[in-house]
C-alpha cells in the first residue's frame, strides 16, 4: 500500500453533505478530511469524490464465462474481465451472483458455477483483482437440484448473501403470463403447445420444491451467518414469509405494497439501477423511481449493467424530487455495505477504508476518472 496520498481540490460527498476540500489517505484508510483546506497533493480539479460503490446483485460474471450458448471461456479470464468492468464503473466491493438451482432455460450447470467460484477465490489469493469480491448465491428454490447445488458451497467463506428466488410463471416477477411468454417463449423458441407444457412443468416444480427449499436454505444461512434476501416479493404474504425466515434484504419487490411492508419491517429494499434509468421494470412491475419518491428505496443494484449503478446515482435526484446526491450515494455505498455486515466501508469518514471514486459529470453522464481501493489506485 502507498503510505500516504492527499487528494485536494475535491467536492467530497460525505454521508449528509458535500464539502470542498482535501482527503488524506494513509495505510489504506481515510486518515483526514479537511474542508476548505488547500493542500499539496493530487489535484481533483473540482471533481466529486464519493465512496467506492458496493454491488450486492450482479449476474454479469456468468455472461463473461458463457458469452454464447455452449461457449465456455477460461474462468479466470472471465473473472478478470468482469472485475475490470465493475472496477472502472466505480464498484470497489462486489458480490458476484452465482446461480444454484438450474432448469431448462439455464445454459450453465453446477460444474460451471463451481469453476467460477473457484476462479474468484484463486484470483483473490493471487491478488489479481481490482475490486473486493464476495459471492451471492441466487437460489432458484423451485429447481429440483437447488439444495444439492447450495450444499456444494458448504464451508465457502466468500459467500455473504443468498437470495431465495422462484421464477415460475403466474407469480412474483411474472404474474403477467404475457410478460413471461415474451421473456421465455421467445428465448427458448417454443411453440404455443410446448410453451404451455413448459409452464405447467415449472409451476409443478414450484409447488413441490419451493417451500421446503426456502426453509432449508434459510436455516442453513442463519447457521452459517449468511445474510438472506427475498426476491420479487409481490404480496403481503410473501413479505410475511420473508420476515418469518429471517430475511434482511428485499430484492426487487414487484409491487409498492410489498415494498412498503418490507420497509416497515426493517428490511433493506433493493431495486435495479437499470429500472431507475429506464423509468420502468423490464418485467412491467413497479418502478424504482416510484419507490424512491415514496421513501421506500434503500439500495440500488446494477443487476445486468455494471455502469448503471453510478449512472443512476447521479441521475436519481434529477428525476425524483427531494433526493440529494448524498442520499443517492448512500444507496450504492453505505446502505448495501451495512446490509451485508461490511461496516468498514461505504462512507467517507476517518478510519474507514479508503475505497473512493473520482467522478466528473459531463452532459448528465458520470465519468469515472480514478478508483482507489484501500488507498491503492485500481482504475
The per-residue pLDDT for 177 is 61
User: CB–CB of 93/132 below 8 Å?
Assistant: yes
CA atoms within 13 A on the CB side of 45: 6
Give the number of residues written for the chain.
Answer: 379
The per-residue pLDDT for 199 is 75
Residue 162, helix vs strand vs coil: strand
The per-residue pLDDT for 66 is 94
CA atoms within 13 A on the CB side of 181: 11
Q: Where are the domains of the chain?
A: 1-51+347-379, 53-344
Task: Name the DSSP letter for residue 183.
Answer: I
User: Residue 292: phi, psi to the nearest 5?
Assistant: -65, -45
Buried b or exposed e, range 29-66, using 16+ CB within 10 angstroms? bbbebeeeeeeebbebeebbbbbbbbbbbbebbbebbb
- How buried is 210 (Cβ within 10 angstroms: 0-12 exposed, 13-18 middle, 19+ buried)? buried
Ordered DSSP codes for 100-142: ES--TT-S--HHHHHHHHHHHHHHHHTT--SSEEEEEEEEETT
CA distance 321 to 63: 35
User: Residue 141: phi, psi to the nearest 5?
Assistant: -70, -15
Question: Residue 370's closest CA among 25, 18, 123?
Answer: 25
Superfamily of the domain at 1-51+347-379: Urease, subunit C, domain 1 (2.30.40.10)
CATH 3.20.20.140 fits 53-344, yes or no: yes
- pTM value is 0.92
The per-residue pLDDT for 185 is 62
For 346, the grid coordinates are 461505504
For 228, the grid coordinates are 438472506
Q: Mean pLDDT in runs of 10 for the chain (379 residues)?
A: 84 97 96 86 96 96 92 97 98 97 80 97 98 97 93 96 84 61 66 76 82 95 97 92 96 94 97 91 80 97 96 95 96 98 98 98 95 97
User: Residue 195: phi, psi to the nearest 5?
Assistant: -65, -40
User: Residue 163: phi, psi to the nearest 5?
Assistant: -115, 145
Tell me which residue has cell 446526491.
Answer: 325
For 218, the grid coordinates are 434459510
The per-residue pLDDT for 36 is 83
CA distance 121 to 75: 11
Cross-strand partners of 365? 362
User: CB–CB of 56/249 below 8 Å?
Assistant: yes
Amino acid at each position: 500500500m502507498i503510505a500516504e496520498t492527499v487528494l485536494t481540490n475535491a467536492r467530497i460527498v460525505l454521508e449528509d453533505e458535500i464539502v470542498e476540500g482535501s482527503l488524506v489517505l494513509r495505510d489504506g484508510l481515510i486518515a483526514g478530511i479537511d474542508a476548505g483546506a488547500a493542500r499539496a497533493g493530487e489535484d481533483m480539479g473540482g471533481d466529486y469524490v464519493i465512496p467506492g460503490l458496493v454491488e450486492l446483485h450482479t449476474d454479469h460474471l456468468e455472461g463473461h464465462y458463457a458469452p454464447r450458448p455452449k461457449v465456455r471461456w477460461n474462468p479466470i479470464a472471465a473473472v478478470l474481465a468482469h472485475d475490470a468492468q465493475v472496477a472502472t464503473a466505480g464498484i470497489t466491493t462486489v458480490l458476484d451472483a452465482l446461480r444454484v438451482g438450474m432448469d431448462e432455460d439455464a445454459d450453465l450447470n453446477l460444474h460451471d458455477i463451481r469453476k467460477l467460484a473457484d476462479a474468484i477465490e484463486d484470483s483473490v489469493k493471487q491478488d489479481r483483482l481490482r475490486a473486493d469480491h464476495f459471492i451471492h448465491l441466487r437460489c432458484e428454490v423451485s429447481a429440483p437440484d437447488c439444495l444439492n447445488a447450495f450444499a456444494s458451497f458448504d464451508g465457502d467463506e466468500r459467500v455473504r448473501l443468498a437470495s431465495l428466488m422462484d421464477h415460475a410463471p403466474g407469480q412474483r416477477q411474472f404474474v403477467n403470463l404475457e410478460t413471461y411468454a415474451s421473456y421465455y417463449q421467445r428465448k427458448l423458441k417454443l411453440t404455443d403447445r410446448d410453451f404451455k407444457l413448459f409452464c405447467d412443468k415449472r409451476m409443478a416444480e414450484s409447488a413441490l420444491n419451493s417451500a421446503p427449499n426456502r426453509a432449508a436454505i434459510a436455516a442453513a444461512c442463519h447457521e452459517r451467518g449468511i445474510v438472506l434476501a427475498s426476491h420479487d416479493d409481490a404480496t403481503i404474504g410473501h413479505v410475511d414469509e420473508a420476515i418469518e425466515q429471517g430475511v434482511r434484504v428485499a430484492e426487487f419487490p414487484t409491487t409498492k405494497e410489498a415494498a412498503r411492508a418490507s420497509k416497515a419491517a426493517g428490511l433493506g429494499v433493493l431495486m435495479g439501477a437499470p429500472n431507475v434509468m429506464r423509468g420502468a421494470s423490464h418485467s412491467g412491475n413497479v418502478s424504482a423511481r416510484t419507490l424512491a419518491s415514496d421513501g421506500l428505496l434503500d439500495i440500488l443494484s446494477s443487476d445486468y449493467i455494471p455502469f448503471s449503478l453510478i449512472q443512476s446515482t447521479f441521475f436519481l435526484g434529477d428525476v425524483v424530487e427531494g433526493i440529494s446526491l448524498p442520499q443517492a450515494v448512500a444507496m450504492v455505498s453505505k446502505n448495501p455495505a451495512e446490509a451485508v455486515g461490511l461496516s468498514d466501508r461505504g462512507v467517507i469518514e476517518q478510519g474507514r477504508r479508503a475505497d473512493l471514486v473520482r467522478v466528473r459529470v459531463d452532459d448528465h453522464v458520470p465519468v469515472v476518472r480514478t478508483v482507489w481501493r484501500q488507498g491503492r489506485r485500481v482504475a
